[in-house]
Chains A and B, each alone.
Chain A
Amino acid sequence: MKDFEKNVFVNCPFDQEYRPLLHVLIFTLLYLGFRPRLALERSDSGESRLHKIVELIHESKFGIHDLSRCQAHEKDELFRLNMPLELGIDMGCKYFPGKRWKTKRLLVLETERYRYQAAISDLSGCDIKAHQNDADLLIKAVRDWLVQEASLNQAPPVSEMSSAFQDFYGSEYDRLRHSGWTEQEIAHLPTDELKRNMMTWMASR
């Protein structure tokens, strides 16, 4: 299976509030030499979303699942169940027969440290990292997890990756603004396009 060892399935909120953290997450994975795989990367309307997700999980040794939206913000707002569902599919793979599935590694993220326990008590006892909606804490959680689970040698420190992300984000914002993009257009730049721009920026350094 092509790139199985480098593919990281990213299961996280795709809303505007989470968007900068999604960009931090993608940037961190690329910076460390991994391939972030997201349901957003393909937009074939004829393909069912669940089929697409199962395929991404199938192709990825690593999975990052952010359960930050396990709590509704407003009265009568339904909390989102897609992320726990996708975590369940990825987690279930580890129990399938076959050596490949036993090598799968998962990182579960949350905004707050113990909030998930009330929502998904079956995860009690699992190691869950809290990022507090902070870019540096998110970079640290992903970096440290990959150093351990992917046996990364000489991974750069958080400060280096954090600085590089700020520099990229700033130069990208400046470039788009001076190319005539509106704030609204920048805010809705397709994630896959931004991912390609990150790769171009990293290659040019």
Chain B
Amino acid sequence: MENAYHVYQRPNGRWSVRKYGAVRAARNFGNRSGAMAFGKKMARAQAGKLFVHQRNGRIESLLEFTTGH
């Protein structure tokens, strides 16, 4: 899971992208689309996974990237 990232919304409404295992967010965004674009870019670059969470913690989707996509 080293190459996995999480996209989630914070209580203040902002969106964050965090690498699996890290405590702090890698980047914060004002909207979901910015966070999704950055999360996909990071996960794709490492042929990793991207978990998208709802505010209650539920996993809304899991995107998996392979080398060359």
Contact = CB atoms under 8 A, between A and B. Distances in A.
Query: From DSSP, what is the main secondary structure of chain A's interface residues?
Result: helix
Interface of A: 19-21, 23-24, 132-137, 159-160, 163, 165-167, 169-171, 173-174, 177
Given A24-B57, A135-B55, A166 B11 contact: no
Interface string B12-42: 0000001011111000000000000000000
Interface of B: 1, 4, 6, 8, 10-11, 18, 20-24, 49, 51, 53-59, 62
A169 B49 CA distance: 13
B66 to A, nearest CB: 14
B18 A169 contact: no
Q: Lowest 5 CB-CB distances: which A-B pairs, in order?
A: A135-B57, A20-B58, A170-B51, A20-B57, A20-B56
Contacts of B18: 163, 166
Given A21-B56, A163-B18, A170-B4, A134 B23 contact: no
Given A134-B55, A165-B57, A174-B1, 16 more contacts: A20-B54, A21-B57, A24-B57, A132-B11, A134-B56, A135-B57, A137-B11, A160-B23, A163-B22, A163-B23, A167-B1, A169-B51, A170-B20, A170-B49, A170-B62, A174-B4
9 contacts: A19-B58, A20-B56, A21-B56, A132-B11, A136-B10, A163-B22, A170-B59, A173-B51, A174-B4
